[in-house]
């Protein structure tokens, strides 16, 4: 049995984002929907829970394996909004379409998904009305009867 060997950390490639401004979301089913992004949480990548491989032949440690499939996590955003957005949201809610996250450096992340929730916060004097929006990635192409299609990252030069 061989033990793992330590490896040195090397200098990362690319250029870290310097500021989150201005990150925007395009929903292809309604590209001019009446909300204005204030904060955006891009989708996570999740390999899933470990698969336990332990048996009665293990001596000291429980052993685990990694899953094969990856989950693209939901997108959340806080937005300012126009009341007109109710009709717009109702028209596209649960519609599988292309969602594009536009990052501040010009990079984009496009994936298939749908607008799952539009949840306004309290309306009160002295504050701009906001709403929380959740977008659920589907990773299925609506044009080809649900064929699996993962996200596409388009990087700008230098990243």
Q: What is the pTM of this model?
A: 0.91
What pLDDT digit, counting tens, does each position of 27-65 carry? 999 999 999 999 999 999 999 999 999 999 999 999 999
Angle at 82 between CA 79 and CA 83, to 5 degrees: 120
Closest CA to 33 of 114, 95, 89, 83: 89
Give residue-wise pLDDT tens across range 57-100: 999 999 999 999 999 999 999 999 999 999 999 999 999 999 99
Mean pLDDT across the chain: 95
Residue with tokens 């996200």: 151
Fold of 24-154: Pnp Oxidase; Chain A (2.30.110)
**pLDDT score of 22:** 95
Domain ranges across the chain = 24-154
| Residue among 91, 95, 110, 106 nearest 42 (CA) | 110
């Amino acid at each position: 049995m061989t033990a793992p060997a330590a490896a040195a950390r090397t200098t990362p490639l690319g250029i870290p984002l310097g500021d989150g401004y201005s990150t925007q979301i395009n929903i292809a089913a309604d590209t001019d929907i009446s909300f204005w992004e204030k904060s955006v949480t891009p989708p996570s990548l999740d390999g899933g829970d470990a698969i336990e491989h332990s048996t009665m032949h293990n001596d000291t440690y429980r052993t685990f394996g990694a899953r094969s499939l990856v989950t693209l996590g939901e997108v959340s955003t806080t937005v300012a909004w126009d009341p007109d957005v109710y009709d717009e949201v109702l028209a596209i809610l649960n519609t599988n379409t292309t969602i594009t996250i536009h990052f501040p450096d010009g990079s984009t992340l496009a994936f298939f998904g749908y607008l799952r929730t539009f949840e306004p916060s309290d309306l009160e004097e002295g504050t701009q009305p906001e709403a929380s929006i959740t977008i659920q990635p589907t990773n299925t192409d609506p044009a080809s009867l649900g064929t699996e299609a993962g996200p596409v990252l388009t990087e700008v030069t230098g990243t």
